Structure 1
Amino acid sequence: MNQNLISQAIDIVGLQAIAQACGVSYQAVRKWERKNKLPRTDWTGETNYSTAIEKATGGAVTKSALLATVPLTSQE
């Protein structure tokens, strides 16, 4: 079973801190957590949530780890 890196990030700095760092609502972060992945837009370069999470966690959760698994579909 894959570890949920978004849950790890939340455990490290808190839900609100992740949401604020990414400029999204806490509900959006919870959605990513449920899906265990960031939106497709992070792979296409439209957003950069993975970098924001890496910075917010002080490198404990890395961009490369968050983007290690490419999303299977383009639907979010």
Structure 2
Amino acid sequence: MSQKEFADKVGLKEQQIQWHEANDFAGVSFDRILDFMEALNAKFFIKKTVIGVDSRNTSSLFSGRRRKETNNAVKLK
């Protein structure tokens, strides 16, 4: 796929794709990464691993933030 085709798929200009590539995609938002992955039909998985902490009690990891658990995922508010 050319940079032009890729740019069209993610709704950017070709020059923006070139700039991201030249900067090793540094500073790209997670949402933009998801756009890139969707355009490439790529999939990824995230596995949460907390080392040295009792996984049944991770409340100390989120001090100062309210946390809401949904479907075994933690969302910070």
User: Would you tell me which structure has more strand in proportion to its own residues?
Assistant: 2
Return the index of the structure with the highest Cα Rg: 2
User: Would you tell me which structure has more helix in proportion to its own residues?
Assistant: 1
